[in-house]
Amino acid sequence: MAFRLKLVPDNTAFNFFRWQWLSFGVSAAAMVGSVLLLLVMGLNFGIDFKGGTTIRTESPTAFEVGDYRQAMSDLDLGDVSITEVFDPAFGTTKHVAMIRIGTTDETGSVTPEQLNEIEAALKTVDPQVVFAAVESVGPKVSGELIKTALYAVGAATIGIMFYIWLRFEWQFALGAVISLIHDVLLTVGLFSLFQLRFDLTTIAALLTTLGFSCNDTVVVFDRLRENLIKYKTRPLLDLMNLTCNETLSRTIMTAVTTAIALTAMLIFGGDVIRDFVIAMLWGVIVGCYSTIYVAKNIVLWLGVKRDWSKPDPKEKAPGEDIPAAFRDAP
Amino acid sequence: MLDIPFWKRLLILGLVALGLLYAMPNLFYSRVEQHNDAVTAAERNGFESQEDAAARAGWPDWLPSGLVNLGLDLRGGAHLLGEVHVRDVYKARMDALWPELRDALAAQRDVVGAVRRVQAPEGQLAVEIGNPDQMAKAVEIARGLAVPVTSLTGAGQSDLAISASGNRLTVQLSDAEKAATDDRTVQQSLEIIRRRIDEVGTREPTIMRQGKDRILIQVPGIGSAEELKQLIGTTAKLTFNPVVSRTADANARPGTGNVLLPSMDEPGVYYVIEESPVVTGEDLTDARPSFDQNGAPAVDFRFGPSGAKRFGAYTSANIGQPFAIVLDNQVISAPVIRQAITTGSGQISGAMNVDESTRLAVLLRAGALPAEMTFLEERTIGPELGQDSIDAGRLSSIIATVAVVAYMVASYGLFGVFASIAVIVNVILILSVMSMMGATLTLPGIAGIVLTVGTAVDANVIIYERIREELRAGKRIVKAIDDGFSEAMSAIIDANVTSFIAAAVMFFLGSGPVKGFAVTLTIGLVTSVFTAIYLTRLMIVFWLEWRKPKELIL
């Protein structure tokens, strides 16, 4: 017998509903907690959403953030924040700082003269400093970007809901959407808790998470539908447990391969994209959890029609993609 | 599902081979890039220099030469999002209309009476006439100046909205004409920006319209957004206006129809000039840097026939009067007309150095931006940062692929090897499709590819897990594999469609790096379904036919 790495043994029979009130409580608490965090701590919006200017400096010599701040204090730039960026790839010869300057006018940008002044000021404390990137976004655009981002998340959610409703039943669609909202809230909550930079790429990560989490949910639903046809009289709860156990190996496999790939990106992908990868990695974890503990629980509570033998004219006949051998099974 | 006809096998393998072929240029990125640059240079110049020929020889002509475009965040460069002040043009149109309207009304002076231009909100032209009871006649005359709107939606409507009350006649652009004008203004700005950037000759600039009145400009390889702004942000609006008076008072009241403008090289000197120009930069056909009779840098210019005629008529009628050469609301100089200039050519001289005269000539030649632009978003990314991101992206993709392959092989043995081959082919296919489409790879896009490495095996996992179940249920190998594939299909399709919805939303609503990410993700979804279903199945079928296995441990 050849060696096979199996994280999930064959023929598991976990009762996923045994702790359903606990898992429900945890999910609900996490969602409420996320909302509270959002209200209390807010998000660390990047310039995409808040407007302003960021400067990324690079220097071969170590520097003190305090020195930079001191050097820039006379320039009258308003709200300035300086953070040092760390990355294992930098070694000892590269020291990076992010300087963020609040928005001042319509264009949100510091003028080229100001930029020269900043550079000159920093050169007095750190002669070898260079500006690796300078980005400015005006408040007009940033306001629109927030709106677009909200539309994007909303449109993706509605699109996915509509598709699932089309392919399955409305209960499934609702279950999937609630688990999507759960995932989005928890991801936003994480960003609020650790004050990670929340910008346009974070929205992209959120949308990807939506797709991924839903992907997972759909695979479980697909199998549930199949089992509903196969076993017409077994209680729904049993069927759900059966389905979940049958697909558990796949759920874990896929989550692990995705997590492996993202972890490689997290460690070696550089600091520019780190927050983006964190959002996706967290999304994968939360998405995996919500597939098992949120989506189908909602479907269980909503109940679902049990007689799948007659194709519903409103939707694609569920039996169509099921092989003939199963269609008339008891 | 397991008997795949020969033509289908050939098609699957052919597609993979094609993908390999089209992805290959990316392995030799700089060499192919030089080759492509040499080809475009030769096309533009009509001949091929020695260096270009050498660069072109670096990559065979008969091989595909499409490359994945690197986004600004990877290559370094500048990004600007500009908003065109489309309303500026309304005012310019009204100012240009005034002499025409004045002449038309003056021709009927005995009917409508004396005509005077009065203050009006920007974008409106208001005149008062001497005989208010003949207003109907004045309106009719003004209507005579209107022309139908030339646009698809506004066709048939007049371009002027004319209203009258008392002795006051107000003219402005009609709504249909405003919409058509806005569109033209943005198109024109786009065209002029493109010409100006092309004059500098950078590689693959992205210049496109966004929304109603915005223009997105991305130029790889340029030093900073500031440089780019200097290149395109200067309006270079050149006009020749009659001078009313010269003053040292910065607060002098110029009077209706006139404006007070500062002199460019004499500090503290102001000119009151008539707002309606005699000729404008648009009448220019050529502008070249040169030197004046004192050897100072200057710009020679030449008018087209209609501009030359108007300029000739004006100068012959106003000998002894000064006229102003105005550039971007500053008076460059205000020479006195000594004789009629009918040749249609002239010279601008003033305090400038050779660089400035060269740039001014470029700007005049490319034409003025029809309206002012403000910049809402500016980004500069240094080339080193981009290179660091490429290196980090490459390293992490390789590590991710190796780790996923190891995990798949450990989990599924030989079938894991099949899945791994499929995943690697998938990455190659993504690159080849992006090269063929000329799509842009951004840093989030690289993350998208890495993510695809993780998710592409998902379809295989669904299939393999299914096959395991079928085997456990006691089915024979071939039957189990066959059922595994067919049963897994609906789950795979549904799962990919939901991801596709999310990616499509990102594509339509996103911009820049996010869009790049969405493109990569979408291409990855399509190619991963192909590799996971068709390619893996073909490999399994080959294996089944070759080994005819009696048992399968999965």
Our CA-based measurement puts residue B415 at a distance from the nearest CA of chain A, in whole angstroms, of 11
Same domain (yes/no): B392, B467: yes
Residue A39 falls within a domain, yes or no? Answer: yes
Same domain (yes/no): A71, A99: yes
Query: Which residue of chain B is at minimal alpha-carbon distance from A210?
Result: B502
B480: Cβ contacts below 8 Å, ≥ 6 apart: B467, B470, B471, B473, B552
Our CA-based measurement puts residue A56 at a distance from the nearest CA of chain B, in whole angstroms, of 9
Our CA-based measurement puts residue A152 at a distance from the nearest CA of chain B, in whole angstroms, of 6
For A105, list phi and psi in degrees, rounded to 5.
-140, -170
Instruction: Note whether B490 contacts A141, CB cutoff 8 Å.
Output: no
Same domain (yes/no): A65, A162: no
Of B150, B177, B204, the one marking the end of a domain is B177
Q: Which residues, numbered 311 to 330 in chain A, qualify as contacts with chain B under a Cβ-Cβ cut-off of 8 Å?
A: 321-323
A-chain residues near B381 (CB < 8 A): 132-133, 135
> CB–CB of B379/B228 below 8 Å?
no
Instruction: Note whether A89 contacts B392, CB cutoff 8 Å.
Output: yes
SS3 B113: coil
Residue A54 falls within a domain, yes or no? Answer: no
Same domain (yes/no): B393, B486: yes
A–B CB contacts, 8 A cutoff, strictly below: 252
Same domain (yes/no): B436, B502: yes
Instruction: Note whether A163 contacts B461, CB cutoff 8 Å.
Output: no
Report the residue of B210, B467, B494 to disrupt the A interface, i.e. the one with the largest count of A CBs within 10 Å.
B494
> CB–CB of B456/B426 below 8 Å?
yes
**What is d(CA B294, CA B299) in angstroms, rounded to the nearest whole number?**
13
**What is d(CA B261, CA B269) in angstroms, rounded to the nearest whole number?**
9
What angle in degrees, to the nearest 10, is found between the helix axes of A170-193 and A200-230? 150
Residue A303 falls within a domain, yes or no? Answer: yes
For B117, list phi and psi in degrees, rounded to 5.
-85, 135
Q: Which residues, numbered 283 to 312 in chain A, qualify as contacts with chain B under a Cβ-Cβ cut-off of 8 Å?
A: none
Residue A12 falls within a domain, yes or no? Answer: no
Same domain (yes/no): B143, B166: yes
Residue B379 falls within a domain, yes or no? Answer: no
CATH number for the domain that contains residue B152? 3.90.1070
Instruction: Note whether B384 contacts A58, CB cutoff 8 Å.
Output: yes
Q: How many domains does chain B have?
A: 3
Same domain (yes/no): B267, B335: yes
By residue range, what is the domain housing residue B169? 88-177
- Distance, first Cα to last Cα, chain B: 19
Looking at the partner chain, which of B388, B411, B491 has a beta carbon nearest the beta carbon of A222? B491
Among residues B222, B215, B197, B241, the alpha carbon closest in space to that of B372 is found at B215
Residue B362 falls within a domain, yes or no? Answer: no
pTM above 0.90, yes or no: no
Note whether A138 contacts B: Cβ–Cβ < 8 A.
yes
Same domain (yes/no): A90, A105: yes
Same domain (yes/no): A130, A153: no
Residue A2 falls within a domain, yes or no? Answer: no
Our CA-based measurement puts residue A86 at a distance from the nearest CA of chain B, in whole angstroms, of 14
- Write out chain A's pLDDT in tens, 330 residues: 467 888 888 778 888 888 888 888 999 999 999 999 999 999 988 888 888 889 999 988 888 888 888 888 888 777 888 888 888 888 888 889 999 888 665 555 677 778 888 888 888 888 888 889 998 888 888 888 888 888 888 898 899 899 999 988 899 999 999 999 999 999 999 999 999 989 888 888 888 888 888 888 888 998 998 898 888 888 888 888 999 998 888 888 889 999 999 999 999 988 888 989 999 999 999 999 998 888 888 888 888 877 666 554 444 444 444 444 444 443
Report the residue of B212, B377, B395, B511 to disrupt the A interface, i.e. the one with the largest count of A CBs within 10 Å.
B377
Note whether A9 contacts B: Cβ–Cβ < 8 A.
no
Same domain (yes/no): B517, B540: yes
Query: Which residue of chain B is at minimal alpha-carbon distance from A47?
Result: B377
Predicted confidence at residue B417, as pLDDT, reads 94
* Surface-to-core class of residue A13, CB atoms within 10 Å of its CB (0-12 exposed, 13-18 middle, 19+ buried): exposed
Could you tell me the two tokens for A124?
A: 């007095």
Determine how many CB atoms are found less than 10 A away from the CB of residue B244.
18
**What is d(CA A260, CA A249) in angstroms, rounded to the nearest whole number?**
16
Looking at the partner chain, which of B377, B509, B553 has a beta carbon nearest the beta carbon of A2? B553
B-chain residues near A282 (CB < 8 A): none
A-chain residues near B427 (CB < 8 A): none
Same domain (yes/no): B393, B532: yes
Say what the ipTM of the complex is. 0.84
Same domain (yes/no): B106, B171: yes
Residue A14 falls within a domain, yes or no? Answer: no
SS3 B220: strand
Instruction: Note whether B491 contacts A219, CB cutoff 8 Å.
Output: yes
Q: Write the DSSP string, B168-195.
A: EEEEEE-HHHHHHHHHHHHHHHHHHHHH
Residue B519 falls within a domain, yes or no? Answer: yes
Same domain (yes/no): A212, A65: no
Of A77, A103, A136, the one marking the end of a domain is A136
- Distance, first Cα to last Cα, chain A: 36
Same domain (yes/no): A153, A281: yes
Residue A194 falls within a domain, yes or no? Answer: yes
Sheet holding B345-349, edge to edge: B284-291, B297-303, B345-349
Residue B542 falls within a domain, yes or no? Answer: yes
Instruction: Note whether A132 contacts B498, CB cutoff 8 Å.
Output: no
> CB–CB of A285/B481 below 8 Å?
no
A-chain residues near B502 (CB < 8 A): 156, 159-160, 207-208, 210-211, 214
Note whether A130 contacts B: Cβ–Cβ < 8 A.
yes
SS3 B239: strand
Predicted confidence at residue A315, as pLDDT, reads 45
- Write out chain B's pLDDT in tens, 554 residues: 678 889 999 999 999 999 999 999 988 888 888 888 888 888 877 788 888 888 888 888 888 888 888 888 888 889 988 899 888 888 878 887 887 888 888 888 888 888 888 888 888 888 888 888 888 888 888 888 887 776 666 566 788 888 888 888 888 888 888 888 888 888 888 888 887 787 666 667 888 888 888 999 988 888 888 888 877 766 667 788 888 888 888 787 887 778 888 887 777 888 888 888 888 877 777 777 788 888 888 888 888 777 888 888 888 888 888 888 887 788 877 777 777 877 878 787 776 777 777 767 766 776 677 788 888 888 899 888 888 899 999 999 999 999 999 999 999 999 999 999 999 999 999 999 999 988 888 888 888 888 888 888 888 999 999 999 899 888 888 999 999 999 888 888 888 888 888 888 888 877 667 787 888 889 998 999 899 889 999 999 999 999 888 888 77
Of A102, A136, A170, the one marking the end of a domain is A136
Q: Which residues, numbered 51 to 70 in chain A, qualify as contacts with chain B under a Cβ-Cβ cut-off of 8 Å?
A: 56, 58
Q: How many domains does chain A have?
A: 2
> CB–CB of A101/A52 below 8 Å?
yes
Instruction: Note whether A156 contacts B454, CB cutoff 8 Å.
Output: no
**What is d(CA A156, CA A179) in angstroms, rounded to the nearest whole number?**
14
> How far out from the chain centre does Cα B52 lie?
28
A-chain residues near B227 (CB < 8 A): none
Range A37-45 contact pairs with CB under 8 angstroms and sequence separation of 24 or more: A37/A189, A37/A192, A37/A193, A38/A188, A38/A189, A38/A192, A41/A192, A41/A193, A41/A195, A42/A192, A43/A188, A43/A191, A43/A192, A43/A195, A43/A198, A44/A191, A44/A195, A44/A196, A44/A197, A44/A198, A45/A197, A45/A198, A45/A199
For B124, list phi and psi in degrees, rounded to 5.
-125, 150
Same domain (yes/no): B67, B128: no
Same domain (yes/no): A101, A82: yes
Instruction: Note whether B491 contacts A270, CB cutoff 8 Å.
Output: no
Residue B278 falls within a domain, yes or no? Answer: yes
Residue B209 falls within a domain, yes or no? Answer: no
Looking at the partner chain, which of A201, A214, A254 has a beta carbon nearest the beta carbon of B498? A214
Same domain (yes/no): A161, A310: yes
Instruction: Note whether B506 contacts A106, CB cutoff 8 Å.
Output: no
Same domain (yes/no): A147, A281: yes
CATH number for the domain that contains residue B337? 3.30.1360.200
Of B148, B177, B206, the one marking the end of a domain is B177
By residue range, what is the domain housing residue A99? 59-136
User: Which 3-state string (H, E, C) describes chain A?
Assistant: CCCCCCCCCCCCCCCCCCCHHHHHHHHHHHHHHHHHHHHHCCCEECHHHHCEEEEEEEECCCCCHHHHHHHHHHHCCCCEEEEEECCHHHCCCCEEEEEEECCCCCCCCCCHHHHHHHHHHHHHHCCCCEEEEEEEECHHHHHHHHHHHHHHHHHHHHHHHHHHHHHCCHHHHHHHHHHHHHHHHHHHHHHHHCCCEECHHHHHHHHHHHHHHHHHHHHHHHHHHHHHHHCCCCCHHHHHHHHHHHHHHHHHHHHHHHHHHHHHHHHHCCCCCHHHHHHHHHHHHHHHHHHHHHHHHHHHHHCCCCCCCCCCCCCCCHHHHCCHHHHCCC
Instruction: Note whether B444 contacts A204, CB cutoff 8 Å.
Output: yes
Same domain (yes/no): A164, A241: yes
Same domain (yes/no): B12, B142: no
Same domain (yes/no): A69, A88: yes
Determine how many CB atoms are found less than 10 A away from the CB of residue A146.
16
Cα B501 to Cα A163, A186, B1, B454, B524: the distances in Å are 9, 21, 28, 19, 14
Same domain (yes/no): B424, B276: no
CATH number for the domain that contains residue A179? 1.20.1640.10
Amino acid letter at A290?
S
Residue B55 falls within a domain, yes or no? Answer: no
Among residues B255, B256, B254, the alpha carbon closest in space to that of B331 is found at B254
Same domain (yes/no): B457, B340: no
Same domain (yes/no): A128, A276: no
Our CA-based measurement puts residue A275 at a distance from the nearest CA of chain B, in whole angstroms, of 11
Of A101, A136, A171, the one marking the end of a domain is A136
Residue B285 falls within a domain, yes or no? Answer: yes
Of B177, B199, B214, the one marking the end of a domain is B177
> CB–CB of B249/B241 below 8 Å?
no
CATH number for the domain that contains residue B483? 1.20.1640.10
Instruction: Note whether A132 contacts B382, CB cutoff 8 Å.
Output: yes
